[in-house]
Chain A
Amino acid sequence: MNKKFHSSGLGVVTLVMIFAVLALTVFALLTLNTARAEQALAEKTALAVQNYYNADSKATILCATLQQELHDNPILHTFTWKDIEVQLTRDKRGIVGNYSCPVDSNQALAVRILFTTDHYRIEKWRVENNLSWENDQHLPVWIGE
Chain B
Amino acid sequence: MGVIEISQTIVNGLLLGGVLALVALGFSIVWGIMNIINIAHGAFVMVGAYVAFWLFKLYGLDPFLSVPIAMAVLFVVGYLLQRYLINLVMRAPMLVTFLLTFGLEVIIVNLALLWWTASWRAVTTTYSGTGFNVGGVQVPYIKLAGLGISLLLAWLLTLFMNRTRTGNAIRAVGMDMEAARLMGVNVRHVYALTYGIGAAMAGAAGAILSMIVIVTPEMGGAYTLRAFVICVLGGLGSVPGAMVGGLVFGLVEAFAGIRWPGMDLAVAFAVLVVILIFRPSGIMGKAFYH
Task: Say whether A and B bind each other.
Answer: no
Residues of B within 8 A of A (CB): none
